Amino acid sequence: MEAYTVVFDHLHHLGPGDSATTRDLVERLGSDLSPGSRVADFGCGVGASALVLAQCLPEARVLALDSHAPFIARLEAAASVRGLEERVTAVVGDMADPPALDGVMGEFGLIWSESAIYSMGRSNAFNCWRPLLKPGGWLVFSDIIWQCKPAARSAKASAFWDKEYPDITTAADVVDELTAAGLKPIDSVLSTRNAWSNYYEPLRDRLRQLRKGGDHPQALINIIAEFEREIDVYDSAGDNVALSFFLAQREFIPE
């Protein structure tokens, strides 16, 4: 993880993401959330979406959770610079087993997660997070999906994504998985290509800088090579996949 801290030093998006799309979706949901709603951002990284959530929902309390302490430290500093430290609680923890903070069980009006659900698996995430939502509460997450049929996929993209993300599937399958998990799919929204360039272009520059830097521990050299391979797939077949947001609700259970 130390190698990730070095690679992501000064990067804002730690995965594909686009603040404009985040803002549009938060604003769309804003009127549905009651004042003082609890909002969680799981796998928040250094705060690319948590800060937007806090800014766009001025009456919400945001719990930002990530397993990597240095990311949480950066998020705390960024929230403080923006005067958001009162409403953003940044916590080191496991989103597969979120800490019982403030009695959160069953109380979130909105659980958000960008480019992080892959690390615990969607169905695991749906099962863990559904009970944390209030009835009627929202789950919004972004995930990488196949954008073209198997026959149209480049061999390089198939080999890469099937190995690195075996859970990758189509948007239609994700919607079915939500339904099977007892969540009501409301919409799916494709991100623009900016979501990818926002992530890969600063990362590409950072990798070049590190390559020039010389003597690195083997763990860092390996991670640099892994990211370079990923960027190579993006350069040659980036349009085979898309980043999609999925919006779902925990249904009200009739009395």
Report the interface residues with ligand SAM, using CB under 6 A: 13-15, 17, 43-45, 48-49, 65-68, 71, 94-96, 114-116, 119-120
Cβ distance 163 to 155 under 8 Å?
no
Question: Minimum Å distance from CB 159 to ligand SAM?
Answer: 21
116 vs 174 by CB, closer to ligand SAM? 116
95 vs 247 by CB, closer to ligand SAM? 95
Question: Minimum Å distance from CB 100 to ligand SAM?
Answer: 15
Question: Minimum Å distance from CB 205 to ligand SAM?
Answer: 17
Question: Minimum Å distance from CB 193 to ligand SAM?
Answer: 16
184 vs 228 by CB, closer to ligand SAM? 228
SS (H, E, C) the chain: CHHHHHHCCCCCCCCCCCHHHHHHHHHHHHCCCCCCCEEEEECCCCCCCHHHHHHHCCCCEEEEEECCHHHHHHHHHHHHHCCCCCCEEEEECCCCCCCCHHHCCCCEEEEEECCCHHHCCHHHHHHHHHHHEEEEEEEEEEEEEECCCHHHCCHHHHHHHHHHCCCCECHHHHHHHHHHCCEEEEEEEECCCHHHHHHHHHHHHHHHHHHHHCCCCHHHHHHHHHHHHHHHHHHHHHHHEEEEEEEEEECCCCC
11 vs 136 by CB, closer to ligand SAM? 11
71 vs 246 by CB, closer to ligand SAM? 71
Question: Minimum Å distance from CB 163 to ligand SAM?
Answer: 17
Question: Minimum Å distance from CB 135 to ligand SAM?
Answer: 25
Taking CB atoms, the residue at the shortest distance from ligand SAM is 45
17 vs 109 by CB, closer to ligand SAM? 17
